[in-house]
């Protein structure tokens, strides 16, 4: 593979382990919404929305510790609605959702945890925020950050679907933990994501 693919982890995943997180804070009647800035915001794009019921678009923000949002995220809500405002209706896409902070951001020895992998997503569905009808390689797994591990990043990477290729997982990749996402990207010549974003959540019972 070319240099661009090999540099993917450096550009999108290998953020500093220890850093001060700066946030922009917006208060409402019931919640405090914190948006990511600095290094953590570099992965974010306003063109990609991650929409859960009740809370709405969580792209580039912390899941608010109010209205039982963290509990609903981990125990109730199903897959979010994905909307990409620059999607081409005639093309197909691949969506990957991973957690690089397993078991924790300071000790990510089991990264990446695969939370979702869908191929052959019609661009029309992404453009309009419709339920995705693509091929599910890995069913959606709710974010369940362990206690005492602080915030985890939940990263979404959207790739163009290569024409004539049908990406799949090896049998050795059935377990979602310690997934070699770089190998998957290289194996199917995905190159750089067309767009990325992330949100952050933690186990509040700690």
Q: Which CATH number does the domain housing residue 109 bear?
A: 3.90.280.10
Distance CA 17, CA 109 (A): 12
**Does residue 86 belong to any structural domain of this protein?**
yes
55 is a domain residue: yes
Domain annotation covers residue 195: yes
When divided into structural domains, the chain yields a total of 1
Q: What is the mean pLDDT of residues 63-80?
A: 94
Asked if 158 contacts 48 with a C-beta cutoff of 8 angstroms, the reply is: yes
The pLDDT of 192-203, averaged and rounded, is 97
**What per-residue confidence (pLDDT) applies to 204?**
79
**pLDDT, averaged across the chain:** 87
Residues 6+ apart with CB under 8 A from 206: 147, 148, 149
Under the banding of pLDDT at 50, 70 and 90, the label for residue 31 is confident
Q: What angle do CA 59, 92, 120 make, to 5 degrees?
A: 90
- Predicted confidence (pLDDT) at residue 40 exceeds the cutoff of 80: yes
Would the CA dihedral through 98, 20, 75, 156 be positive or negative? negative
**Cβ–Cβ < 8 Å for 53, 68:** no
pLDDT at 5: 39
Rg (CA), the chain: 16
Asked if the model's pLDDT at residue 9 lies above 80, the reply is no
Give residue-wise pLDDT tens across range 147-189: 999 999 999 999 999 999 999 999 999 899 999 999 999 999 9
Tokens of 175: 């377990």
Inside any domain, residue 73: yes
Q: Is residue 120 part of a domain?
A: yes
> Quick one: average pLDDT of 32-50?
94
Helix (H) or strand (E) holding 10: helix 8-12
- Give the domain range for residue 175: 3-15+22-201
Q: What is the pLDDT of residue 1?
A: 40
Inside any domain, residue 206: no
Question: What is residue 30's predicted lDDT score, i.e. its pLDDT?
Answer: 72
pLDDT value for 32:
87
């Amino acid at each position: 593979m070319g240099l661009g693919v090999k540099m993917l982890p450096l550009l999108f995943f290998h953020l500093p382990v220890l850093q001060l997180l700066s946030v922009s804070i917006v208060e409402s009647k019931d919640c405090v919404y914190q948006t990511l800035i600095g290094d953590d915001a570099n992965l974010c794009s306003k063109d990609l929305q991650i929409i859960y019921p009740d809370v709405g678009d969580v792209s580039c923000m912390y899941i608010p510790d109010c209205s039982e949002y963290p509990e609903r995220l981990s125990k109730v809500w199903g897959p979010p609605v994905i909307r990409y405002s620059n999607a081409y209706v005639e093309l197909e896409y691949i969506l990957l959702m991973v957690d690089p902070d397993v078991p924790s951001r300071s000790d990510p020895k089991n990264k990446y945890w695969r939370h979702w992998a869908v191929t052959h997503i019609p661009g029309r569905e992404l453009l309009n925020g419709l339920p995705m009808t693509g091929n599910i390689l890995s069913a959606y797994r709710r974010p369940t950050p362990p206690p005492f591990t602080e915030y985890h990043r939940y990263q979404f990477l959207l790739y163009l679907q290569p024409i004539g290729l049908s990406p799949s997982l090896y049998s050795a990749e059935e377990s979602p933990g310690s997934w070699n996402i770089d190998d998957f990207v290289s194996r199917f010549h995905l190159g750089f994501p067309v767009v990325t974003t992330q949100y952050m959540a933690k186990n509040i019972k700690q």
